[in-house]
Amino acid sequence: MTRKVDDLYECEECRLLYRDVSWAQKCEEWCKKYKSCNLEITAHAVNKTDLIL
């Protein structure tokens, strides 16, 4: 189950953050099923350098 972190959503499998809950859920489903990340999904993840104040 994806987790809300401030105004972002986290894939609980690989810990990537997304602005849209649907991408976080797709990521988590993929991670659980294939034990890997999907480049088409992770392209929608938040760039961590954008989070640094």
pLDDT digits (tens, 9 = 90+) for 4-52: 988 999 999 999 999 999 999 999 999 999 999 999 999 999 998 877 7
Q: Helix, strand, coil proportions of the chain in percent (round to 5)? A: 40, 15, 45
pTM value surpassing 0.75: yes
Cβ atoms < 10 Å from Cβ of 38: 14
CB 2 within 8 A of CB 25: yes
Q: Tell me the sheet residues that pair with 10.
A: 3, 17
Q: For residues 43 and 53, what is the distance between their CA atoms, to the nearest angstrom?
A: 22
Residue ranges covered by each domain of the chain: 3-50
Output the pLDDT for position 53: 56
Q: For residues 5 and 40, what is the distance between their CA atoms, to the nearest angstrom?
A: 22
